[in-house]
Every structure is written in C-alpha cells, then in structure tokens.
C-alpha cells in the first residue's frame, strides 16, 4: 500500500513529534542530573537515561521489523511494554507541555502590547503559574498511562445485555450468548490472563460462546496456545468464532480455522450453520474480516455474497469482526450482528460532555448496542436489526486502557 501526500505528511509529523519529544525529555533528565551533588547518583541517572533510550530504539525496530528477532521472555516483555507505554504518553506529555508554554508566550506578548507602560505586571507570579501549569499538564498523560497499565488493563468487566430480536422463536426467548473478542494474546496479554478471562466466561453459564476475532496481534504471537485456552470454554451449543484483521496480518486465517477444528470448535469463514435449541433453530453466519479502512482507493464490497447465507425461515446471527459490516447486514435482513475490533477505543476521555475516542476515526459503532432498520424479506414495519460491539480483552499499540474496561459479555435474546 502506497501512501498519498496526506499520509506522508502525517507520517513525517509523527516522526518529528517522536524525535522532538524524546529529545526534550532526555535533555531534561540529563540537565536535572547536573543538580545532584553525588557523582554516583548523577552517573546512575544518566546511565538510566541512556539505557532507556537504547530500549526505546530496540523496541521501535522490534515492532518495525515484525517482532520475533529479539528473545521474548517475561522480563523482556515487561521492559518492552514499558517502552511502548512511554512512547505515546511522553509524546502527549510533550504536546501538553508545549501548549501551555505557547499560551504563556501569547499571554506575555499580549500583556506587553495592551498594558500601559506604568502598569505593573506581576511577571514572577505569572511565570510561576505557567511553569506549574506546564508541569501539571505534562504529568496528566504519564499518570493516566501508568493507571491504565496497572489498574484497568486486566480489570475484566462482565456486561449483561438484553437484545430484542425480530421473529425470535419463543424457545429462544431468554437464550444466553457469551461473547469475547480481541484477545491479542502475546507480549501484552500473557496466557494466565487469558485463562482467567476464560474462567470468568465459563461462570456465566452461556448456552453458546462466540469469539469474534483477533486472537493474536502478529505472526510471532502464540496462536496455538490462545486456541488451547479458548477451547476450555464450555457451553451446550459449543464455541464458534470468526477471523479478525490481525489474523490477516499474522497470515494465520487458515491456521486458526484448523486449530479450532482440532479442538472441537468451529471457525466460520463465509459459511453458515444452524443452532438448534428446544426444537427451534437459529442461522449462524461467520465471515472473515471485512476490509474497509485497510485499503486505499475503491473499497471492496462489504459482506459480498452474504445473501446466499441468509435464511428467511429463521432469525440470523452474524459473526463479523468489523462493526462497519452492520449496514450491509441490516440491509440483508440479518437480525443480529456481533463484532469487536474497536476495543471500545481503548482510551476514552470525556471533555465538555463529549467523548474523545480514537475509534471514531474508523467507525460510528464504537462499543455496546446499536440498531438500524431491518430490511429484507423477513422484515416487517418497525423491526430493527441489532449490533453488539464487544470492547475486547486485549490491547494494541499502547499496553493500557483508560476509561474503557476489558469486557466479557453475556447477551440475552428477547422476543421483539
């Protein structure tokens, strides 16, 4: 994929910001060490600064080259997760710090112009105010990153949601679905945490379990071990899944399908199956990741060929990792879609009653329950198609969550 001029400009801006922020913090720490009277302490601080810089460089190239060329062990994983955490939070801290400094410069310039020569301006108080404000602004992203890494990242939350389904047979009223998504098992998601999530999911007593993609992040992550853990999920109607976009990145779509089959589970790929409960049936459809924002130029059609998989004599449930497929699903008469992909934004901050959430750049379906008019031969006036977007278990990019807890969902079907 080639970058356009806008993409090149954004990439250059990110690289420039990365360089300027790390240079600023490194020099600040170096200069701070000059104040220490102890030469030993000074050497320790400067040695730590150099070691941190080396770790950042190694972490950067490890990610750029696709990982796997460095030996991964618990200590290395911890150090690299700290490096990843630092990069984004330190860039934001630098930006916040510079915004306050620019505000101070504008205030000073305006004061010199607007005040009469004889007016005494409390410059020292003003400088102290802006100095402490800049430090406070810079500290906010760093504190938030540490909190998101230590407190929220593995604070699994069970969400219980009732879903109204058009044309739902009475036998399925009260039917329970357990959904997990976006596990991303690897450096930032150890196996024991996946095991803990599976134990929590098993306690919910779902009648069926759906896993909506992104088992891993990259080609060197432990796909086999992840499938072994989700194979411990228990439900009367079994465990079903679909592929996510990171199975594409890892070139693991076929392997994931084979591993599911080895463990008695089913990963649906442009295919369907019937779920029977108390004599009634649901039509379950699963598709590979539907690419939209992953490609440039003309977008491929969403859910191509889905019409042949949709049943008109029973309700349909679609497993599609990308929530943007919901438009086509509702248009095709699919009553319920289950997705993941967004991680709920992974970071969500409320400013002036507005949520600041990175997922808004790729979808309007960020997390939770959504509805659209249901079309197709099975629809009647006023019926709604539903989509539930799971916030996921793991993380990507930044090994932290802030304002978005990892989620395990228990969905209860209700007759609409």
Domains along the chain?
5-152 (no CATH), 158-293+308-415 (3.60.21.10)
d(CA 409, CA 188): 22
**pLDDT tens per residue across span 222-258:** 999 999 999 999 999 999 999 999 999 999 999 999 9
Task: Please give the biggest Cα pair distance in the chain.
Answer: 91
| Rounded mean pLDDT, 26-39 | 87
Give the pLDDT confidence score for residue 2 in this predicted structure.
47
Give the pLDDT confidence score for residue 18 in this predicted structure.
86
Token pair recorded at residue 80: 């690299």
The H or E element containing residue 163 is strand 157-165
| Rounded mean pLDDT, 330-341 | 96
| Rounded mean pLDDT, 395-403 | 88
d(CA 339, CA 319): 6
CA angle in degrees (0–180, nearest 5) for 136-141-147:
110
Alpha helix locations (H) across 115-214? 123-147, 191-202
Q: Band the pLDDT of 3: cuts 50, 70, 90.
A: low
pTM (predicted TM-score): 0.84
Q: Band the pLDDT of 293: cuts 50, 70, 90.
A: low
| Rounded mean pLDDT, 56-78 | 64
| Rounded mean pLDDT, 157-185 | 96
Least trusted range by pLDDT, from 145-154, 199-208, 262-271, 374-383: 374-383
Give the pLDDT confidence score for residue 228 in this predicted structure.
98
Which residues are CB-neighbours of 203 under 8 A, at least 6 positions away? none
Q: Dihedral, CA atoms, 217, 207, 311, 265, nearest 10 degrees?
A: 50
Backbone region of residue 67 per phi and psi (left: phi > 0; alpha: psi in -120 to 50; beta: other values): left
Q: Given a cut of 90, is residue 182 above it in pLDDT?
A: yes
Q: Given a cut of 80, is residue 15 above it in pLDDT?
A: yes
Token pair recorded at residue 39: 């030469």
d(CA 255, CA 269): 12
d(CA 242, CA 215): 10
What count of other Cβ atoms lies within 10 Å of the Cβ of residue 55?
Answer: 15
Q: Band the pLDDT of 287: cuts 50, 70, 90.
A: very high
CB 389 within 8 A of CB 365: yes
What count of other Cβ atoms lies within 10 Å of the Cβ of residue 16?
Answer: 10
Backbone region of residue 73 per phi and psi (left: phi > 0; alpha: psi in -120 to 50; beta: other values): beta
Give the pLDDT confidence score for residue 1 in this predicted structure.
44
């Amino acid at each position: 994929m080639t970058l356009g001029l806008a993409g090149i400009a954004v990439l250059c801006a990110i690289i420039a910001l990365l360089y300027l922020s790390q240079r600023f913090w490194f020099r600040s720490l170096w200069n701070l060490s000059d104040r220490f009277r102890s030469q030993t302490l000074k050497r320790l601080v400067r040695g730590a600064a150099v070691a941190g810089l080396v770790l950042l460089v190694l972490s950067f190239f490890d990610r750029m080259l696709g990982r796997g060329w460095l030996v991964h062990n618990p200590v290395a994983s911890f150090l690299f997760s700290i490096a990843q955490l630092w990069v984004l939070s330190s860039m934001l801290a630098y930006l916040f710090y510079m915004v306050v400094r620019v505000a101070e410069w504008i205030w000073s310039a305006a004061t010199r112009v607007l005040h009469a020569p004889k007016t005494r301006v409390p410059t020292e108080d003003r400088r102290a105010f802006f100095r402490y404000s800049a430090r406070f602004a810079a500290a906010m992203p760093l504190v938030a990153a540490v909190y998101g890494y230590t407190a929220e990242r593995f604070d699994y939350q069970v969400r219980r949601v009732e879903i109204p389904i058009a044309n739902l047979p009475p036998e399925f009223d009260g039917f329970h679905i357990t959904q997990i998504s976006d596990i991303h098992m690897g450096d930032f998601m150890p196996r024991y945490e996946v095991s803990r999530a599976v134990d929590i999911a098993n306690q919910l007593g779902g009648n069926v379990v759906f896993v909506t993609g992104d088992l891993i992040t990259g080609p060197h992550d432990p796909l086999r071990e992840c499938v072994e853990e989700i194979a411990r999920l228990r439900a009367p109607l079994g465990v079903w899944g679909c592929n996510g976009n990171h199975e594409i990145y890892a070139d693991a779509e076929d392997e994931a399908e084979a591993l599911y089959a080895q463990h008695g589970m089913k990963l649906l790929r442009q295919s369907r199956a019937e779920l029977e409960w108390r004599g009634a049936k649901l039509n379950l459809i699963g598709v590979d990741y539907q690419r939209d924002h992953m490609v440039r130029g003309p977008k491929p059609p969403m859910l191509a060929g889905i019409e042949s998989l949709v049943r008109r004599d029973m309700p349909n449930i679609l497993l599609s990792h990308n929530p943007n497929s919901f438009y086509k699903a509702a248009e095709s008469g699919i009553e319920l879609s289950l997705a993941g992909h967004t991680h709920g934004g992974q970071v969500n901050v409320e400013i002036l009653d507005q949520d600041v959430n990175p997922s808004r750049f790729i979808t309007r379906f960020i997390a939770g329950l959504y509805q659209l008019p249901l079309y197709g031969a099975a629809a009647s006036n006023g019926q709604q198609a539903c989509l539930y977007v799971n916030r996921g278990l793991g993380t990507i990019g930044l090994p932290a969550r802030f304002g978005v807890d990892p989620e395990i969902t228990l969905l209860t079907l209700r007759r609409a």
